A and B are shown apart, each in its own frame.
Chain A
């Protein structure tokens, strides 16, 4: 597996899904075990990746490069650098934990786990692909399993939420498709002189055609790509699919949605838009910072108004992704490093929050914040886990969220003073909605209705503890992740901001 580690990480879950397809649907335990094993392999490989990754270079590593479809110049080109490594690790970790967290899925178990594994493969592929066609293929491959996971195993309004998610994302991706074709036709492969989908060639401005060097065209292409990615992040006003999808999706799918899928939007901007169209990125940066601020404040205010725990966490995601945008827009070392670190941290912290919401929902079959009260006495262990996650979300020093948010503000402040100052209000509102929820759910008089709720069990703790450790460790010592990405991101800043 050493040679083709990225391919194994991407396609091993597909093998697992294929195996599951041929297991009789009554053998649920076997199906679940196979799924867990198929998701464990990428996780083990991810650890190997983490150990062997060369932190001293900005070049692509673990590269696999083969001709795929010669007549259309499509290549099977996989590789990772400091930008993709944190995302690959996050995907492997969360996918495995989500399989464990889905152990109670009773309806159509076979289909659920098969689709989940395909979803994992698609996400992994997006973060590893260096050929635009391949990237687009994985990007879209994700939609179909996600549609079914929300639509079949979701809540009461799942049909609406599933198709809304699908249509929004597809609307964004057709714009990306058009931009992709435009790049294909206007970027020259320096070795053969033909068209190319190779992203590294696209990043080299000297390969661009005359047409592609026109400022207006570049701005137009930037906007096309940006809308495609913005829908995924989601950036206001393209965000309305997210609360619906989150509320209806089963717990594990919400975790994947918030933990990994949203990051694809910002990853896409950093991987594709920034290096291919750096001048347009600079042109757009102020708007991006303002959009970040809007996301932060709008998401936080909306979260404050929610009475459904899951919806609250969903809106808090919108708010937290706003920090990522703000950091990205600054083009400073601290800003971009903070942004990517925030992508990783938000993935872990939100995953914890959604898992915690799932724990109580499994027991009480409601997520209504005002319906609870005094759960702290009834489920003390659970309360401590949830509080830990919530404090991490508001950026309590000592937990990982603080480090990345602090870096983002340090990076953004010198560049966008006013915007950063306004955005900082988001932290206060964030603390408000989180603490207010904490108070209503866990403190106060106990609601007798919940007298029989058992505390968190060992399987659920198994999914929470690893993430909790990561959040704690990175809060005290963030270098393991920062070291991974620093060189690559500094290179990116040099490309964009000169």
Chain B
């Protein structure tokens, strides 16, 4: 019934959605533009996409700086633009823009014998839009639609290299796993709707608080939904698709996958589970509902399993791209630590970690893109001596990897520190110890890459000529390096952004 209850939107509500409107427009204009030039002049869709993302981004920045405390309803109760949506929107647009810029210099995207290279650019714009909507959904229908939206674009993008076996296989795997998990999640959603009779998150919460569900029914629904979302964020044991897809897809697209949809999945999980289950308005007190069915233990076990499994498997990888794929799974494990108790402190730590993770993970993947242009390989053996062939880029890669490993003075350490503190504050010691042990394991495989690049001496006769990167690549890597360093020693303001995003998240209405 709520669907029909559309009220007339106010101007300020609509204005808060300008970035999304710009993104939608960008997609359409770039699509038409690409058709007009018949896929030959790729610079046109590229330029349109960059322009659109920059425009949308400036609106998004202005919105975050403005810190508008009111939540704007979009399309009735389907979506909401609030502080949290604003935070994630900025993250997604930044990710999209960085990916588009870097892809422009990537041989995998631009050098591939393929028509319609412009497709990549407007699909990225569309994906950015869908991810923004994921962070804004507050209705089961919109939740499902936005997830499927991101999924569909991802399936197409994973198969970007149509003639490549790896790429097509990646795409197919993605589709099959995606379809199954969507079905499971949909079943959970239908149970929840059946029990509470409401589609909106707030309505579901009201229904649950009124005692609409028995603990077992709630547990079943929550677990099924969690499974569907775990697939999106690639948490163990629903991660199987991730390494193959990341390895098979062109690297710039893997970079996007490892950051964008993952963060969007977390945004959706935060809004959905926090609104429906952690019912208290006070972020500090946490929740009462989750205590009914042992939610914390469920998530804690998943978090620990994700970290342990991904880190152990990563140890044995010899392909840098695949190694980074497992590394990004292990980071999901760390981030899930903040999700255990659904407290404000934990969620703030998640947001800050996602911010840091975006910079460092994109940086590491982009370095692989840049090297792939020259070496046509992601094999660890071919990375030998790279540090001396491209010293500046190599130094930046060390910073990204060090940050991923979580050692000071890089941003990744601060992200972990906040997560650890949030969990320790609630006395979940075993989980913190598991995470601490895992950071030591992580160091080993991240530094396997550093070792190849700087320590191992190249064999006799190996190519040791200097590698020159495209100026755009240096620029984007530099732009990612600065926050990876700065957030390691001066993070007060940025943590405040994450705190504000959680504080301004609306759970009512």
Contacts and interface: CB of A to CB of B under 8 A. Distances in A.
Interface of A: 69-72, 108, 111, 136-137, 140-141, 143-144, 147-148, 151-152, 158-159, 162-163, 166-167, 170-171, 174-175, 177-178, 181-182, 184-185
Interface residues of B, number: 33
A166 B448 CA distance: 12
B499 A71 contact: yes
A129 to B, nearest CB: 12
B464 to A, nearest CB: 13
A331 to B, nearest CB: 31
Contacts of B439: 170, 174
A448 B407 CA distance: 51
Contact of A167 (B421, B436, B443, B454): B443
A166 B409 CA distance: 15
Contacts of A171: 440
A104 B499 CA distance: 52
A174 B424 CA distance: 14
Interface stretch (B242-250, B280-288, B331-339, B485-493): B485-493
Given A162-B451, A166-B447, A167-B444, 18 more contacts: A71-B492, A71-B495, A71-B496, A111-B391, A140-B407, A144-B398, A144-B407, A147-B447, A151-B451, A159-B456, A162-B455, A170-B407, A170-B443, A174-B439, A175-B436, A177-B417, A178-B424, A181-B432
Contacts of A140: 407-409, 413
Given A141-B408, A178-B424, A69 B388 contact: no
Given A181-B420, A185-B425, A69 B407 contact: no
Contacts of A158: 455
Contact of A69 (B413, B440, B492, B499): B492
The secondary-structure label for the interface of chain A is: helix
Contact of B421 (A111, A141, A159, A181): A181
B483 to A, nearest CB: 16
Contacts of B15: none
Nearest to B398: A144
A141 B410 CA distance: 9
A327 to B, nearest CB: 31
Contacts of A177: 417, 420, 436
Contacts of B432: 178, 181
Nearest to B392: A21
B433 interface: yes
Nearest to B416: A177
Contact of A182 (B407, B408, B424): B424
14 contacts: A69-B490, A69-B491, A70-B492, A71-B492, A71-B496, A108-B388, A136-B408, A141-B409, A158-B455, A162-B455, A167-B443, A167-B444, A170-B443, A177-B436
Nearest to A25: B391
Interface string B306-322: 00000000000000000
A177 B491 CA distance: 18
A185 B427 CA distance: 11
B281 to A, nearest CB: 22
A167 B492 CA distance: 30
Contacts of B495: 69, 71-72
Given A69-B492, A163-B447, A177-B436, A151 B420 contact: no
B437 interface: yes
B440 A185 contact: no
Given A141-B409, A174-B436, A178-B420, A159 B451 contact: yes
Given A71-B492, A170-B407, A181 B440 contact: no
Interface of B: 388, 391, 398, 402, 407-409, 413, 417, 420-421, 424-425, 432-433, 436-437, 439-440, 443-444, 447, 451, 454-456, 489-492, 495-496, 499
A166 B401 CA distance: 14
A202 to B, nearest CB: 16
A151 B413 CA distance: 23
A205 to B, nearest CB: 21
B492 A170 contact: no
A72 B499 CA distance: 12
Contacts of B413: 140
Given A163-B451, A166-B447, A170-B443, A181 B417 contact: yes
Contacts of A185: 421, 424-425
Contacts of B443: 166-167, 170
Contacts of B407: 140, 143-144, 170
A136 B406 CA distance: 13
A155 B496 CA distance: 47
A70 B439 CA distance: 27
Contacts of A70: 492
Given A147-B447, A181-B420, A181-B421, A167 B440 contact: yes
A162 B455 CA distance: 9
Nearest to B495: A71
B492 A151 contact: no
Contacts of B451: 151, 159, 162-163
Contacts of A141: 408-409
Most chain B Cβ neighbours within 10 Å, of A162, A170, A175:
A170
A71 B494 CA distance: 11
A70 B496 CA distance: 10
B408 A170 contact: no
B322 to A, nearest CB: 21
B408 A137 contact: yes
Contact of B437 (A151, A174, A181): A174
B156 to A, nearest CB: 41
A178 B409 contact: no
Contacts of B424: 178, 181-182, 185
Contact of A137 (B398, B409, B437): B409
A337 B451 CA distance: 42
Contacts of B398: 144
B455 A152 contact: yes
Contacts of A152: 454-455
Contacts of B440: 167, 170-171, 174
Contacts of A166: 443, 447
Contacts of B388: 108
